[in-house]
Amino acid sequence: TDAHSLSYNITIDPRPRDGQPWCEVQGEVDQKVFLSYDCGRAKIKYMSPLGEEVKSMNAWEAQTDTLRDIGDLLKEQMTDVTPEKHLDKGPLTLQARMSCWQEDNGLISASWEFGFNGQLCLLFDSESGYWTMVHSKGRWMKEKWENDRAVTEFFKKVSRADCQRWYQDFLLHWEKMLKTTASPTTGPSTMQRMAPDSSYSTWIATGVLAGFVITIIIIACIHYKKRRRCSQEA
């Protein structure tokens, strides 16, 4: 079975402009949008044949209820996890991205990403239950959520149970469409993507470069020792 990914991008805007939703969800398969959901108004737009294909499923109503529960929880939590530096500096939105995908061994894994105004701040490993801060803006979230068992268990349940079940159910309907469709059946996401902190990316790049340099030095030392030993034997 070809590996695919199922993701939900949730944006919470506590002070939306007139006519704008306070909670919006975009569902993606392989990074292509198949639905858009307004949590507050409980309105769904099916963005592609993939969305039309699954809207008649029995699990569809339960899924929208779960997505609305996620929106309600994030909005409720936002007052406690908002970075102080941004309290009085214009609108602030909270983004969350829940993803699930199939590993090479056939098991389905899941994870969460959280951020503010497009800045990736916090990661949650649904398997281990560990929180990882990737930007200082996520400190408030990490300190609160890693000590709140109810919130942690909610994120684990939704990603490990609900998302995985949707993944399996949807692929049964999408399998032929995903295989036979040569061109994308959906458009790209219109929601703001979360970007990792530059210092975090630099740290990763530096680590990779350092590892490469060390490997080169070790190889050079091995070759030098071999040449020296050969010259001595000669």
Distance of CA 9 to the CA centre of its chain: 7
Fold topology of 5-180: 3.30.500
**Which of 119, 82, 95 shows the shortest CA–CA distance to 198?**
119
Phi first, then psi: give them for residue 182, nearest 5 degrees: -75, -40
Q: What is the pTM of this model?
A: 0.75
Please state, rounded to an integer, the average pLDDT across all residues of the chain.
77
- What would the DSSP string read from start to end of 30-65? TTEEEEEEETTTTEEEE-SHHHHHHTTSTTHHHHHH
Structure tokens at 4: 């695919």
Give the pLDDT band (50/70/90) at residue 151.
very high
Residue 201 has pLDDT above 90, yes or no: no
**Rounded to an integer, what distance in angstroms lies between the CA atom of residue 149 and that of residue 88?**
30
What pLDDT does residue 173 have? 80
Phi first, then psi: give them for residue 55, nearest 5 degrees: -70, -15
**2 versus 212: which is more confidently predicted?**
2
Residue spans of the domains in the chain: they are: 5-180, 197-234
- DSSP 8-state symbol, 127: T
- DSSP 8-state symbol, 73: H
What pLDDT does residue 111 have? 94
What pLDDT does residue 32 have? 87
Residue 25: count other Cβ atoms within 10 Å of its Cβ.
23
Work out the average pLDDT over 194-220. 43
